Amino acid sequence: MVGRNLRIARYGVLMSSVVLLVAILTACGGNAVDDVDSFVQVRDAPADYTIEDLKAIGLKASKNYDVEGLPDGLDAWKGFWGLDPYDRHDYEIRFYASHTLAVSSGKQLAIDATGAEFEAKRDEQVWTEGVKDRWQARGVTDVSSGGSRQAPGPTYQDWAIVGNMVILCDGLDSEQAMIRCASLIDNFLPDDAG
């Protein structure tokens, strides 16, 4: 009888642990979805920014693009950022003279340079500088064969405009890219500006 009660107690502890783990995972997943649902893709900001402002929060600039051919563009960079130095993500940031120009001149170009639009229009880009950086081969696990294969696709799956900056964000899909855009922006803007 003691052995049976011990097994029942262990089973109860195990089930409680599983329920707690599921609750934690659900809560974490829910926050990411809420972040995407409440994310404002185009927003004004309290100032006009430069690459130095992003470097101040830890963005590592890896390439400065020539902006010739980028309508109204002042500066453009490829870089990577993340709160965890071992988990950083790629961003392309384009700077304009104002928020109005970022929206009027940069929004459609950002749409054309990300996700399915980029895949469809890769050879028809208005601004061709950096096109090769916007396309990458990614390892994808093939669950049917247990192997892996390369699946080329757009580096940047979505974008955001903050003040005078157009930001292209990497990810496997639009939702992941938006989460990464939100993370960068939330760590960049003052609490009362976002």
Domain shared by 137 and 60, yes or no: yes
Q: What is the number of alpha carbons within 13 Å of residue 54 lying toward its C-beta?
A: 29
Is 163:102 a contact under the CB 8 Å cutoff? yes
**Whether 45 and 33 share a structural domain:** no
| pLDDT at residue 185 is higher than 50 | yes
> Is 194 within the bounds of a domain?
no
Residue 39, number of CB atoms within 10 A of its CB: 18
Q: 155 and 171 share a domain?
A: yes
Look at residue 167 and tell me if it is in a domain.
Answer: yes
Question: Is the same domain home to 22 and 115?
Answer: no
pTM of the model: 0.76
pLDDT in tens, 26-81: 344 444 445 567 789 999 999 999 999 999 999 999 999 999 999 999 999 999 99
In 51-150, alpha helices (H)? 51-55, 99-112, 115-121
The domain of 34 spans 1-38
pLDDT (tens digit per residue) in 122-149: 899 999 999 999 998 765 544 444 555 5
